[in-house]
């Protein structure tokens, strides 16, 4: 029974971490989009592309983890 409770704790801990990571990515996207509207600089667009690429690669990695 001790092992089962440890596995449940571990899976819930992973779920909490991934939820926090997704929330942070969404907040970062909102922050970057807001800055791009305020600054209007061409420097921000590569940043948005980089963040989108990282977030999609994280999502695909997370999906492969579940399978």
* Cβ pair 28, 51 in contact under 8 A: yes
Joined together, the tokens standing for residue 11 give: 């899976």
8 Å CB contact between 51 and 32 = yes
Does pTM surpass 0.95?
A: no
pLDDT, mean of residues 16-36: 88
**Which pLDDT belongs to residue 2?**
59
Residue 55 has pLDDT above 60, yes or no: yes
The highest-confidence range among 5-14, 33-42, 52-61, by mean pLDDT, is 5-14
Angle, helix 2-39 to helix 44-66, in steps of 10 degrees: 160
């Amino acid at each position: 029974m001790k092992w089962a409770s440890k596995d449940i704790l571990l899976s819930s801990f992973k779920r909490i971490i991934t939820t926090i990571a997704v929330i942070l990515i969404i907040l970062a996207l909102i922050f970057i989009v807001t800055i791009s509207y305020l600054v209007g600089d061409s420097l921000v667009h590569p940043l948005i592309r980089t963040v989108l690429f990282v977030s999609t690669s994280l999502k695909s990695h997370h999906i492969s983890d579940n399978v």
